Amino acid sequence: MTDDAKLLADLTKSPPASARDFTDRRSFLKNATATLAVAGTTLVAPSILRHSLAAQTESEPMSQNAFVYTELQISAPFDQVPWQRINNAIKAQPGFINKTWLSGVGNLSAGGIYAFDSVVNAQKFVTGYFPEEARGFGVAQTTRVFDAVATREASLDMNSAHYGAKFDQIPGAFVYTEVQLHVLPFDNGPWRDFNPILKQQPGLLSKTWLSGLHTGTVGGFYAFDTIENAKRFAIDYFPTETKALNAAFYTRVFDADATKTASIDMASPFYA
């Protein structure tokens, strides 16, 4: 076991907050479910590179074509994670643009959301560098690759930091979601119906939509003002949507304050 791995041990999880009722949105979700059903049956293959980000705006100085989500199965306070060493190694990875570090609320897992210049370089990262990093810690790991081009319009509409949006305040929490649905192409999905509803969620600052490479799973990376509002969204509100869609889902809540310094060092767009 490495010296870094020895730092990571024996911390217990905190219990989740109690759920609260939310307003029934049956009519909206019924329409959204119908739209997803159509999207899932009309196309069967991804088209990851069908668009180009050649035309960049001033707020988008770098071309991002893929996002990567990672999470290590560790439990350690973030100040015990050797993020300086890891940052230096990740900065040298081909096509890397930025990373926002993640520290799990309750379980103290460590991970990140990354932007890469191409799907090819994102795949190299998740099949080459990252498994070796996890091996060094002696822990299991999770990785996902997403098509950043397909979700650009939907994310811009949600004040996505990954596309240059600025905030009046620094995020206090992040939320990651992924729903077990096949929606390809992404634009066939009901994001235009969902966005107005999501914008009403208490404390939401930003969302970057996610579309799974090859899988067509639908997800998102959210920034919230506080951990309380992030947990309320992930624990209470989000399950009401996925239940109506009859789909399994995955949610994670992260402490943005704990990883601020490490994320700034990695050019995280949330602290620009």
Alpha helices per DSSP H over the chain: 3-6, 26-42, 83-91, 119-124, 130-137, 152-156, 191-198, 227-231, 238-244, 260-264
Position 161: which residue type? Answer: A
Residue 174, C-beta contacts closer than 8 angstroms, at least 6 positions apart: 100, 102, 113, 221, 222, 223, 224, 230, 253, 254, 256
For residue 81, pLDDT beyond 60: yes
Per-residue model confidence as pLDDT tens digits over 178-200? 999 999 999 999 999 999 999 99
Distance CA 94, CA 164 (A): 22
Model pLDDT, residue 214: 96
Model pLDDT, residue 205: 98
Mean pLDDT taken over the chain: 84
Domains defined along the chain, listed by start:
24-50+62-271 (3.30.70.100)
Per-residue model confidence as pLDDT tens digits over 228-242? 999 999 999 999 999
Per-residue model confidence as pLDDT tens digits over 94-103? 999 999 999 9
Model pLDDT, residue 173: 98
Maximum mean pLDDT: which of 50-54, 60-64, 264-268: 264-268
What are the CB-based long-range contacts (under 8 Å, 24+) for 203-207?
A: 203/228, 203/229, 203/230, 203/233, 204/229, 204/233, 205/159, 205/167, 205/169, 205/171, 206/158, 206/159, 206/160, 206/161, 206/165, 206/167, 206/171, 206/270, 207/155, 207/158, 207/159, 207/160
Per-residue model confidence as pLDDT tens digits over 126-163? 999 999 999 999 999 999 999 999 999 999 999 999 99
Distance CA 137, CA 257 (A): 24
Model pLDDT, residue 121: 98
Buried b (16+ CB within 10 A) or exposed e, 100-138: bbbbbbbbbbbbbbbbbbbbebbbbbbeebbeebbeebe
Answer yes or no: are the C-beta atoms of 245 and 162 closer than 8 Å: no
Q: How confident is the model at residue 62 (pLDDT cuts 50, 70, 90)?
A: low
For residue 35, pLDDT beyond 70: no
Residues 203-225 have a mean pLDDT of: 98
For residue 26, pLDDT beyond 50: no
Distance CA 215, CA 231 (A): 27
What number of residues does the chain have?
272
Model pLDDT, residue 167: 87
Model pLDDT, residue 272: 79
Model pLDDT, residue 52: 32
